[in-house]
Amino acid sequence: MNTVSFKGDNRDTTVKASVLRASGNIPAVMYGGDILEHFTVKHNDIKHLIYTPDFKLGEVDIDGKSHKCIIKDIQFHPVTDAIEHIDFLAIEDGREVKVNIPIRFKGVSPGVKGGGKLMQSMRKVKVKVDPKNLVDVLYIDISNLELGFSVKVKDIEISEGMEVLASPSIPVASVEVPRALKSEQAAEEVAVAGEEGEAAPAATE
């Protein structure tokens, strides 16, 4: 698993959040199981955990004690988009969590080879899993994906003990027939129909 380690400083909850933010700190809370920690973090320490399309675990050190966690919620300023507060969920083996994991493809689609365009309609899927079985990414094999067809949630290759929390019939990606190829196919069909018409015997009275 990709893990981002960062430091957290215990927060004095009597100090207003606005004062903490003014001093360059982001108020945060971590909960889960028996854990409840109020602390602050620095933006530069957690930016690689937040601004990424990849799934990553966090590992925060608070007063010398390390906790594995994932981001549960982030509050942004409505105008500046500055981070105002972060909720972390503490994780431990044996206690399942719900997370969104990116979907990637493996193999080469024959439909794409034939001139089609691969269109991905779902980039992440929510799963329920024991943290010990967490993975960075989930894959779908598209080596049999032809023009005009799609792969669905049911085709995602999942790891042991993982439950996908999405309908199996939802499309993840499809190979669309390009407009130029559609026009070419339509022209060929018209030409074939014309040839067949010319070859047909004349009607007799």
Phi-psi domain of 155 (left: phi exceeds 0; alpha: psi -120 through 50; beta: other) = alpha
pLDDT in tens, 137-163: 999 999 999 999 999 999 999 988 899
Structure tokens at 18: 């606005």
Residue 187 has pLDDT above 90, yes or no: no
**CA-CA distance, 72 to 32, in Å (whole number)?**
11
**If you search the block for the tokens 């966690």, which residue do you land on?**
69
pLDDT at 205: 46
> Of 40 and 182, which is predicted with more confidence?
40
| 144, two tokens | 């049999």
Has residue 179 got a pLDDT over 60?
Answer: yes
